[in-house]
Amino acid sequence: MSDAGIHGLEHIGIRVHDLDRSRRFYEGVLGFEFIAGPLGPEPVALLKHPAGLTLNLILNADAAEMANLLMDVPQKSPGYTHMALVVEDVTATMQHLEASGVTITEGPVEFPGTRAIFVRDPDGNTIEFDELIS
């Protein structure tokens, strides 16, 4: 079978340290809605965005302030480095994020067909916001 039958993205798992701190960011700033949690042996909280994206906040990061091992250390290990979210207007998104106290860590930058900015969540996980341009 050459087609694995994939037809969508179910969720993105993000390791975090503090559920309340993460909820303030993902709900209060980005508009996700809390669904349930913590659940399971490796406690997970479920959040869903009206755009259809679901996040699993995995509540087992050891410390509140740690380097992001995939982004912030000189040795580059394999692994997922960030998620990219499509937005209507990256300038408006940037203004909203800055007004919410979120630091823009990079951008705006342009890639073929995309204008982007980057931020970090409270645990240092990178989030890219992409405006699709012609």
Q: Is residue 88 flagged as an active site residue?
A: no
Nearest to 18 by CA among 129, 124, 126, 127: 124
Find the catalytic residue in 10, 42, 65, 128: 128
Q: What is the DSSP letter of 93?
A: H
Amino acid, single-letter form, for residue 128 = E
Q: How far apart are CA 117 and CA 103, in angstroms?
A: 10
Angle at 26 between CA 46 and CA 108, to 5 degrees: 135
Strands 104-111 and 114-120 turn out to be antiparallel
* Terminal CA-CA length for the chain: 35
Q: How many CB atoms lie within 10 A of CB 57?
A: 26
Catalytically annotated residues? 128
